[in-house]
Amino acid sequence: MNSSIVGGLSISGDIDQLNATLENQLSTELTGNISSTIKAEVSPYTEELRIEKLLIQLTDVETELSLSGKLTQWLDPLLDFSVTANNVAYPIIDDGEPKLVSIPRADLTLKGQLNQYIAELSASISGADIPETALNFKGEGSTESLTDFTLNAELLGGKVNIGGSLDWASEIAWNTQVLVENLNPGQFNPELEGNIQLELVTQGKLSDSGPNVDLNIVNLSGELRDQPLSGQGRVQYSTDEINIESLVIALGETQVDLQGQMQNEQLAIRFNLNAPNLSLLLPELSGQLSASGQLQGPMMTPAISATLSGENLAFDDNKVARLEGDIQVDLSGTNNSNLELSLSEVSAAGESLDSVAITLTGRPEQHRLELVTQGELIELSALINGRLNLETQAYNGSLSELSLERREVGRWQQQSSTAFRCQ
């Protein structure tokens, strides 16, 4: 605080009605100069407090907060208040940077008793990472819940409507419906031009044991980046279980399907990806990729069964003309694992290779990894026989059959195996 509080208090009237006026000024580094005024009337016998004006002004930035209204019935208060805020922003003092949050105007009314009130709010908000949004809220509730509320937001050329109930008596719980109409994320990020419709129903609670959420995507539709968008599915989440009921999201010809569950840290999930044009997902990517498979077993060490196939894959200057993969890997080590990956016409880190082949067989405690690359400028092959101790995470391996041929250095051949250890 930069200065002491300066002001005055005046009280007039009698025991039937007291009038009070308080005015003061102060200054802080965070807010600059602050001026506040309170004018109120108190009628003890009729149990009424009337606030004619409560005005707080940040004079350096023209921010104002005002409140007026009355409170009656001391033992069971009956409220009737109005609050208006103008030019609220953070950071409060202009530092030359865009405001993180800016609220040009907000109006709030609160009427009724604490166990049965109606609250209404209208406001506009924006910020460095917040699109310009017009908000309207109305809720009926008590000190323990909102039995019925609606929140309407106009942003990004569309509307978002949220309605339902919210309870916080013993734990936070909700039951809401979300409707999105004509939302265009391209107004916030030009790379995401589109028109999105969404109907979503969610209910759940936050308890001492953790969150419990039921999320039902009834319908997702519209377009994104000039491609049709669709989706539906249901996900149920708790601290010890995740259940995915056929979650399907599609953008153009690209589609992702998920189905399965995780219960007591055990996975049983099936997945399928078909992406004929990866640039629709990320502009930096190109090519086509498909993958399907499943995850079974312990969450940290599942058995993975999958197939991969890709063509003309590219990310920045890294390119792969063709990718094929067959993955049968048991991370728990209960069963033998087999992994085969083959890549052709590879360009990476300024090098070009005709082909790359990776083969893995065995179990964590005893396995064999073979790498073979072929190309005009370089050829490389190597074999690793290794052992991984799952308890200590220590890895012992032996590198053998290392062969390197490059135009500038000729051909190099390993004469004997070399042991190594990692931990």
Residue 38: its H or E element: strand 32-43
Quote the radius of gyration of the chain (alpha carbons, Å).
33
**Whether residue 230 has pLDDT greater than 80:** yes
Looking only at the bridges linking them, the beta strands covering 366-374 and 394-406 are unpaired
Q: What is the rounded CA–CA span in Å between residue 292 and residue 306?
A: 5
Minimum mean pLDDT range among 40-44, 155-159, 402-406: 402-406
- Mean pLDDT, residues 286-302: 92
Q: What is the rounded CA–CA span in Å between residue 217 and residue 196?
A: 13
Residue 263: predicted pLDDT? 87
- Spatial neighbors of 298 by CB under 8 A, at least 6 apart, are 265, 266, 267, 332
Residue 316: predicted pLDDT? 82
**Whether residue 33 has pLDDT greater than 70:** yes
Residue 3: predicted pLDDT? 59
Residue 159: predicted pLDDT? 96
Q: Kindly provide the residue ranges of all beta strands, DSSP E only, lying in 44-129, ordered along the sequence.
A: 48-58, 63-72, 78-90, 101-113, 116-127
DSSP sequence for 175-205: EEEEEEEEE-GGGT-GGG-EEEEEEEEEEEE
Residue recorded with tokens 């406001």: 123
Q: How confident is the model at residue 27 (pLDDT cuts 50, 70, 90)?
A: confident
Q: What is the rounded CA–CA span in Å between residue 64 and residue 83?
A: 11
Residue 345: predicted pLDDT? 92
Residues 321 and 291 sit within 8 Å (Cβ to Cβ): no
Q: What is the rounded CA–CA span in Å between residue 256 and residue 275?
A: 8
Report residue 302 as tokens: 């599942």
> For the chain, first and last CA: distance in Å?
54
The predicted model scores a pTM of 0.80
Residue 1: predicted pLDDT? 47
User: Angle at CA 132, nearest 5°, toward 126 and 135?
Assistant: 90
- Mean pLDDT, residues 256-279: 91
What are the tens digits of pLDDT across the range 344-403?
999 887 778 899 999 999 988 899 999 999 987 788 899 999 998 878 889 898 989 888
**Whether residue 190 has pLDDT greater than 60:** yes
Q: How confident is the model at residue 4 (pLDDT cuts 50, 70, 90)?
A: low
**Whether residue 235 has pLDDT greater than 70:** yes
Report residue 220 as tokens: 């997702």
Q: What is the mean pLDDT of the chain?
A: 90
Of 184, 212, 214, 213, the residue nearest 198 (C-alpha): 184
Report residue 51 as tokens: 């606030």
Count of alpha carbons within 13 Å of 353, Cβ hemisphere only? 22
**Whether residue 216 has pLDDT greater than 90:** yes
Number of H helices, E strands in the chain: 0, 28
